C-alpha cells in the first residue's frame, strides 16, 4: 500500500489570530450576566485552548497562532478572587454532572461524560492554573508557540476617546502585559478593530508596529499587511472570505446539526445535552448530543477549511503576483464557549495545515517574512455591523456616548488638579488612580456593544452608569476639599474594582 502523497507547498503564509476579551465581571453580578459569563468562558474556552497550545508547544511547534489577550481579561484570569470563584464553579459543574447521571437516559450517559470532563478540568486547573494565566502564557510565548497581542486598559472604543486618555490606556495596557508575561507586545488588537485616521502615530509613539483591522478597512485588499500613512506601523486585515467560513453573521461550522447546541439547557442540571439538530427545530425536540457524530463533522470541517485556505493562498498569490498572506481572525470565546467542538477543531487544523503544504506563522512572522505591501490611508472603521462606528456611536447609544464624554472630562480635570497639588509627593495618589480606573471601566466598548445588539442591554447600561457614578462620587469629594472622604470612597470602590494595580495617574500625559 503506497503512502499518501504530500501536497505541494502553497505560496505565502496563513495566520490565525484569536482575540481574548471579556469586560470586568468580578464583583458585578453572577447570573444571568456577570461572573457566570467569566467562568463559563474560562472552563469551556480558555482551559481547552491552553491545553491545545501546551500540547503543540511540547512538540516544539512554533508560530502556531497570534493570541490577543486584553489587559482586562488577563487581570481576571490572574485575580485571586476569580481563581477561587473558578475553582468553586468547576466543582459545582461536576456536582451538576453527577446529578445528571441519576436521571433517565440519554441524560445519564451525557452526565457521565460531563462528570469526567469536569474532573479533568478541576485537576488541570488545580495544578496548572493556581497562579493564574500569566505563567502559562509566558511559557507559550517563550517557546515561540504563540505571538502575544496586547491592547489598551479596559478595552475602550479608541476613536471616540479623549486623546490623553487614549494614550494613557494604551501605554498602561502594554506595560501591564510586560509585567504579567515578561513580554511587552509590539502588536495589538485594537478594541473592536476600531480605527480613526491619525491613530497610527499614537501607536508608533507607544512602540506598536502592527495592529489588526477588519478586511473592509483595507477595501478587501488583505493579501498583504499595509503600512499606514507615512508611518512604519502595519495594519493587517482579516480575510472575510476565509474567516466567515467558520463564523459569519448567517452561517458557519458551529451551526452544523451534529454539534452541541449552545442555547438548549437541561433545566434541572443546567447542562447542555442536545445537538443543534436543525436550524428551525425547537429546543424541546432537539436530538441528544452524539460525540461520534460530532467528531466526524469536526474532521469534515477541518478538511474543508484547509482546502479553503490552500485555494485562497494560491488565488491571492496569483492575483498580486507574489506570495500572499491570509489572516483568519476570531474571538477566542468562539472556540469552546459558543462552539463546544471548537478547541478540538483548532488542534486538528493546526496539525493539518502544515501537512497540506500550508506555511503557518504569526503576524510577527509575516512582518519578518516581508508580507507587506504599499502604504495605505485607512478610513474610519471597525469590525462591527456596517464596518463603521454605528454600534458604538449610533442613535441607540447616544446617551452612553454623552455619558462617556462627560465622565472623561470630569476625571481628567479632577486628576489634573489633584496631581498639581501633590506633584512633589514621592508616592502615588491612590484617589487619582481610582478615578482613572473607574473612568476606564465606564468607557469600556462592551457596554454600547451590548446595548446596540440588545444583549443584556440593561446590565450594560447599569455597569456604565455604575462606574460613571463611582468616578463622579470620588471626584466630587476631592473637588470640594473633602480629601478624607475621597480616600474612603476610592478605597471602597477599589474593593470591587481593584484591577490594574500598577495603574499610576502620575503617568497621565
Say yes or no: domain 391-507 is CATH 3.30.930.10.
Answer: no
Instruction: Find the Cα–Cα–Cα–Cα dihedral 176, 181, 187, 190, rounded to 10°.
Output: -50
Confidence of residue 2 (pLDDT cuts 50, 70, 90): very low
Catalytic residue among 147, 192, 333, 429: 192
Query: What digits encode the pLDDT tens for the residues 212-257?
Result: 999 999 999 999 999 999 999 999 999 999 999 998 867 899 999 9
Do 56 and 145 contact (CB within 8 A), yes or no? yes
Q: Where in the chain is the domain with CATH 3.20.110.10?
A: 19-150+185-380
Q: Would you call 192 a catalytic residue per the annotation?
A: yes
Q: Where in the chain is the domain with CATH 1.20.1430.10?
A: 391-507
Pick from 352, 353, 348: nearest CA to 335: 348
Catalytic residue among 331, 399, 416, 504: 331
- What is the rounded CA–CA span in Å between residue 274 and residue 256? 13
19-150+185-380, CATH topology level = 7-stranded beta/alpha barrel (3.20.110)
Query: What's the confidence (pLDDT) of residue 7?
Result: 73
Average pLDDT over residues 139-150: 98
Do 326 and 313 contact (CB within 8 A), yes or no? yes
> DSSP 3-state assignment of 372?
strand
Do 149 and 68 contact (CB within 8 A), yes or no? yes
Query: What's the confidence (pLDDT) of residue 6?
Result: 62
Query: What's the confidence (pLDDT) of residue 424?
Result: 59
Query: What's the confidence (pLDDT) of residue 248?
Result: 80
Confidence of residue 308 (pLDDT cuts 50, 70, 90): very high
Query: What's the confidence (pLDDT) of residue 423?
Result: 60
SS (H, E, C) 275-318: ECCCCCCCHHHCCECCHHHHHHHHHHHHHHHHHHHHHHHHHHHH
pTM beyond cutoff 0.85 = yes
Average pLDDT over residues 324-332: 97
Query: What's the confidence (pLDDT) of residue 465?
Result: 98
> DSSP 3-state assignment of 149?
strand
Average pLDDT over residues 299-307: 98
Query: What's the confidence (pLDDT) of residue 251?
Result: 82
Query: What digits encode the pLDDT tens for the residues 54-71?
Result: 999 999 999 999 999 999
Do 63 and 363 contact (CB within 8 A), yes or no? no
Cα 271-276-280 angle, rounded to 5 deg = 125
Q: 363 is written with which cell numbers?
A: 503576524
pLDDT at 442 exceeding the cut of 80: yes
Query: What digits encode the pLDDT tens for the residues 337-369?
Result: 999 999 999 999 999 999 999 999 999 999 999
Amino acid at each position: 500500500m503506497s503512502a499518501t502523497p504530500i501536497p505541494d507547498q502553497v505560496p505565502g503564509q496563513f495566520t490565525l489570530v484569536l482575540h481574548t476579551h471579556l469586560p470586568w465581571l468580578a464583583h458585578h453580578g453572577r447570573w444571568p450576566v456577570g461572573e457566570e459569563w467569566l467562568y463559563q468562558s474560562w472552563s469551556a474556552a480558555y482551559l481547552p485552548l491552553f491545553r491545545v497550545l501546551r500540547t503543540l508547544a511540547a512538540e516544539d511547534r512554533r508560530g502556531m497562532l497570534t493570541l490577543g489577550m486584553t489587559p482586562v481579561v488577563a487581570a481576571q484570569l490572574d485575580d485571586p478572587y476569580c481563581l477561587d470563584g473558578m475553582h468553586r464553579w468547576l466543582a459545582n459543574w461536576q456536582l451538576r454532572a453527577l446529578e445528571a447521571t441519576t436521571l433517565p437516559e440519554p441524560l445519564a450517559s451525557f452526565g457521565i461524560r460531563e462528570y469526567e470532563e469536569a474532573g479533568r478540568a478541576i485537576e488541570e486547573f488545580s495544578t496548572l492554573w493556581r497562579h493564574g494565566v500569566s505563567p502559562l502564557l509566558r511559557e507559550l510565548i517563550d517557546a515561540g508557540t504563540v505571538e502575544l497581542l496586547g491592547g489598551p486598559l479596559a478595552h475602550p472604543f479608541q476613536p471616540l476617546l479623549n486623546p490623553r486618555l487614549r494614550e494613557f490606556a494604551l501605554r498602561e495596557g502594554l506595560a501591564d502585559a510586560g509585567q504579567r508575561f515578561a513580554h511587552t507586545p509590539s502588536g495589538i488588537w485594537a478594541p473592536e478593530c476600531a480605527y480613526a485616521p491619525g491613530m497610527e502615530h499614537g501607536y508608533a509613539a507607544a512602540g506598536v508596529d502592527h495592529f489588526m483591522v477588519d478586511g473592509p478597512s483595507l477595501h478587501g485588499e488583505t493579501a498583504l499587511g499595509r503600512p499606514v500613512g507615512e508611518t512604519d506601523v502595519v495594519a493587517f486585515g482579516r480575510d472575510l472570505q476565509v474567516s466567515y467560513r467558520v463564523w459569519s453573521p448567517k452561517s458557519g461550522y458551529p451551526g452544523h446539526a451534529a454539534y452541541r447546541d449552545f442555547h438548549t439547557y437541561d433545566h434541572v442540571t443546567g447542562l447542555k445535552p442536545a445537538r443543534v439538530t436543525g436550524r428551525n427545530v425547537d429546543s424541546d425536540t432537539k436530538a441528544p448530543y452524539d460525540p461520534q457524530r460530532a467528531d466526524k463533522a469536526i474532521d469534515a470541517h477541518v478538511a474543508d477549511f484547509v482546502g479553503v485556505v490552500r485555494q485562497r493562498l494560491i488565488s491571492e498569490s496569483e492575483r498580486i503576483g507574489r506570495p500572499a498572506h491570509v489572516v483568519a481572525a476570531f474571538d477566542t470565546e468562539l472556540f469552546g464557549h459558543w462552539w463546544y467542538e471548537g478547541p478540538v477543531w483548532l488542534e486538528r487544523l493546526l496539525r493539518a495545515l502544515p501537512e497540506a503544504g500550508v506555511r503557518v506563522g504569526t503576524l510577527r512572522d509575516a512582518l519578518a517574512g516581508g508580507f507587506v505591501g504599499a502604504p495605505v490611508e485607512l478610513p474610519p472603521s471597525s469590525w462591527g455591523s456596517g464596518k463603521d462606528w454605528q454600534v458604538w456611536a449610533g442613535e441607540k447609544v447616544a446617551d452612553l456616548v454623552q455619558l462617556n464624554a462627560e465622565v472623561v472630562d470630569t476625571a481628567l480635570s479632577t486628576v489634573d488638579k489633584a496631581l498639581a497639588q501633590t506633584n512633589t509627593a514621592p508616592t502615588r495618589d491612590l484617589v487619582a488612580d481610582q478615578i482613572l480606573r473607574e473612568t476606564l471601566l465606564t468607557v469600556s466598548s462592551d457596554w454600547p456593544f451590548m446595548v446596540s445588539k440588545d444583549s443584556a442591554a440593561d446590565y450594560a447600561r447599569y455597569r456604565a452608569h455604575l462606574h460613571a457614578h463611582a468616578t463622579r462620587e470620588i471626584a466630587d469629594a476631592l473637588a470640594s476639599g473633602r480629601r478624607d472622604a475621597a480616600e474612603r470612597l476610592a478605597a471602597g470602590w477599589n474593593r470591587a474594582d481593584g484591577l490594574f494595580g500598577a495603574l499610576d495617574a502620575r503617568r497621565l500625559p
